[in-house]
Structure 1
Amino acid sequence: MMRSKAIHFRNGRVSGDVSLLGGMLGPAEFLLPDNRAVQPFSVAPWIQDPRALLDTIPPILQNMRGEWPCVPFGVPELRTDLPTEWLQGLDSVESINDAFVHGFSANHVWTDLSTSSQEVALAINYPPDHPVRKLSRTISVSNNNQLDFDLVIETDEPVELPIGIHTVFKLPNKPGRGKLIIDSFKKAHTFPVSVEANTSVLEPNQQVGDLKRILRLDGRSVDLTSLPLADDTEELVLLELSEGTVKLQNYDELYEVVFTWDIKQFPSCLLWISNCGRESYPWNKRFQAIGIEPIAAAFDLGVIHSRNVSSPLQKMAIKTSCSLTGHDRFSYQIAVNSIDAQGRP
């Protein structure tokens, strides 16, 4: 696969690039009121690696950067290496024909439908045997240093699918120089098993009511609002929230990102804490970022687990899929503001 073309946009004090491969946004630059320019999104450090190396990894990784939609959300293969309670009822769940991590659209080239350099419009048609017919999305700029996102999912027939927005932000280098602020936090669920064997530090399959006191495998606790973590690790933590707002503050560059979405559409938020914990290519222990991902899904476990009414999350009345009815619209926003050294606007 050739390197993907990117669309550049600029409107007022915000500019950025959107890659046609995966429809991925990033980098994007925000010019703050004090005329400082900040770029909050993560861009994978390997995207300029030799083509021979990039061709050994999935398209979604070849080009990975700041933000993109995942329809369906999760891995295509059925995970069975999970605790017993996660395996009940799987035999009765129908799968779909999508062999790509985070869905067809995250691994293929979108069509550029933009009519202006001030905003981006993209679309992608899905294969004929897929329950999704088409995705369309626009990225535009508000006059308050905010990006406005609009996603439309078209289906021929009603279908239940896990969906999500995969948004990945860069972090300061030094532990604790970034901070998550989630005022509507209710409960955290760690991944059912260690995300990376012999690397991940969190106790799997736990439910916690305090994001600052997540139990580690060694019996200590860790504050997941203080980032980056001190350990080389890889973690997935599903958050129950009452409102769709998460703030990420960067004390080195003195800005905060404010990510907002409709909590009825995406009832959970998946934190992907990637802290130099993966050794294999392309990661090579060189990737450090925080994924803040609004989802209607069972972690990233894919279609069958997310549609399983017997799963532990569904038994706790946590919605893990979305009822798509033919023409469904999802909107969300990402704004960037200045802060002082104490995190105040």
Structure 2
Amino acid sequence: MENITMQNNERWTLKWAHGEATVQAMGGMLAPVRFDIGSGRSVSPLHVAPWGDDPAWPGLMRALRGEWPCVPFGTIDVPDNLPAGFTPREAGDEWRHGFSSNHLWQCVEHTKHRVALRIDYPQDSAVESLHRVIEASADAPALTVTLTVKVRRDITLPFALHPTFAVPKESVQVLACPYRAVHTYPVPVEPRYSRIATNRTFDSLRALDTPEGPLDVTRLPLPRITEELVQLEACRPPFVLRYPADNADVELDWNTDDFPDAVLWISNGGRDYAPWSGRNFALGVEPVCGFFDLGRVVTPPSHHPLAGREGFRFEASAPRTIRYTLSAALSSE
């Protein structure tokens, strides 16, 4: 992995009548963001990792924050103790969540209301380049993001966005979105701390089995230390989070033709090793076309409800552009 220093992790700021947002070169990550929602109120919903910007941690870990795209999406490590029927395979490269998550993007346009970034992949990659535009709405506390993916050859890849939201001590309510089912991770995410029953399907986020009884994950932070991943099948956005202390509702909206599901990463202090050190509390709401974050390294058995989630088909002859929005408003209650 290349040595990426703090000095060249540039940042660009958008300022408009309804807020302020910062985009960084590393990973093209968006955060912090402040939305001014009226009545003198504002909300800053995107998470910034507690270690800030630390060059001791290269790649995406160095200044982990907010929202960014993952092409291809997922881990590069095969989990231990996979259940019977799950087949491990090679990730194909060394970049967790893809090359673009671990390298510097170039700014190609910057105005008060718009920033455009680009990153070129290595010559031996099937992916040629990503072009990302973040634009503030002229008349609302809202950001629209477009991402154009160009590939060198036709290929199917697990593909996801990685919005990560703040979980304040005073709580956030996960109003979520309509969904068909909740699928749990094949193995414990963090064996010492994860509590939710693995490799199961549930009807609701309000009642996930644990050794202590049903767990409701719709109000965070959770009462005990844990780290969890679940996948909401057929999640129909917008996905809504309510920040009661700010009297704010935050919405993430996307096209389900691009991302049929959403992976929820519930980080509730359950990583006790550096740089997390038991202090990371966040909620990832990750629109996904793939199988959890495992699509690069694990094939689920054919009978698994998510077995058909093989990834997104990219074609060399047709660059693909996706569009999604992040917005906020005063709570409806």
**TM-score, normalising length: structure 1:** 0.89
* Kept after mapping to 1: 8 A contact 2:74/2:294: yes
Q: Which residue matches 2:43?
A: 38
Question: How far apart in 2 are the matches of 1:309 and 1:235?
Answer: 19
Q: Which residue matches 1:9?
A: 14
- Deviation string 1:229-264 (CA, Å, 9 cap, x unpaired) is 111110000011252321000112211111110111
- The one-letter code of the counterpart of 2:63 is N
Q: Which residue matches 2:252?
A: 259
Secondary structure of 1:32's match? strand
2:134 equivalent to 1:131: no
- The one-letter code of the counterpart of 1:39 is S
2:264 equivalent to 1:275: no
- CA gap of 1:128–1:311, structure 2 versus 1, over 3 A, is farther
- The one-letter code of the counterpart of 2:116 is A
Question: How far apart in 1 are the matches of 2:44 and 2:91?
Answer: 39
2:282 equivalent to 1:292: no
Question: How far apart in 1 are the matches of 2:224 and 2:216?
Answer: 12
2:204 equivalent to 1:199: no
Q: What is the deviation of 1:318?
A: 4.3
Q: Which of residues 25, 36, 45 is equivalent to 2:30?
A: 25
Between 1:240-249 and 1:230-239, the stretch displaced more is 240-249
Which aligned pairs between 1:168-247 and structure 2 lie closer than 5 A? Answer: 168-174=164-170, 177-218=171-212, 220-247=213-240
Unaligned runs of 5+ in 2: none
Secondary structure of 1:271's match? strand
Unaligned runs of 5+ in 1: none
* Matched residues, number: 325
Indicate the RMSD between aligned Cα atoms, in angstroms: 1.8
Secondary structure of 2:136's match? strand
Q: Which residue matches 1:140?
A: 135
- CA gap of 1:325–1:310, structure 2 versus 1, over 3 A, is farther
Secondary structure of 1:197's match? coil
- Deviation string 1:45-64 (CA, Å, 9 cap, x unpaired) is 10245xxxx42x34111110
Secondary structure of 1:60's match? helix
* Kept after mapping to 1: 8 A contact 2:14/2:136: no
* Kept after mapping to 2: 8 A contact 1:215/1:222: yes
Question: How far apart in 2 are the matches of 1:299 and 1:260?
Answer: 19
* Kept after mapping to 2: 8 A contact 1:77/1:302: no
Between 1:65-74 and 1:26-35, the stretch displaced more is 26-35
Question: How far apart in 2 are the matches of 1:292 and 1:223?
Answer: 17
Question: How far apart in 2 are the matches of 1:9 and 1:128?
Answer: 32
Q: Which residue matches 1:76?
A: 76
- CA gap of 1:86–1:309, structure 2 versus 1, over 3 A, is closer
- The one-letter code of the counterpart of 1:81 is N
Q: Which of residues 63, 74, 98 is equivalent to 1:103?
A: 98
Question: How far apart in 2 are the matches of 1:131 and 1:42?
Answer: 31
- CA gap of 1:190–1:77, structure 2 versus 1, over 3 A, is same
- CA gap of 1:144–1:103, structure 2 versus 1, over 3 A, is same
Question: How far apart in 2 are the matches of 1:193 and 1:47?
Answer: 30
Q: Which residue matches 2:162?
A: 166
**TM-score, normalising length: structure 2:** 0.92
Question: How far apart in 2 are the matches of 1:263 and 1:319?
Answer: 13
- The one-letter code of the counterpart of 2:5 is M
Question: How far apart in 1 are the matches of 2:106 and 2:176?
Answer: 36
Q: What is the deviation of 1:200?
A: 0.7
- The one-letter code of the counterpart of 1:263 is T
Q: Which residue matches 1:149?
A: 145
- The one-letter code of the counterpart of 1:72 is P
Identity %: 32
Q: What is the deviation of 1:81?
A: 2.9
Q: What is the deviation of 1:178?
A: 1.7
Question: How far apart in 2 are the matches of 1:287 and 1:304?
Answer: 26
Q: Which residue matches 2:321?
A: 329
Secondary structure of 1:41's match? coil
- Deviation string 1:160-200 (CA, Å, 9 cap, x unpaired) is 000100000101204xx321123412100111011001211
* Kept after mapping to 2: 8 A contact 1:213/1:223: yes
* Kept after mapping to 2: 8 A contact 1:9/1:16: yes
- The one-letter code of the counterpart of 1:178 is V
Q: What is the deviation of 1:80?
A: 5.4
- CA gap of 1:242–1:164, structure 2 versus 1, over 3 A, is closer
- Deviation string 1:56-84 (CA, Å, 9 cap, x unpaired) is x3411111011000001001233453111
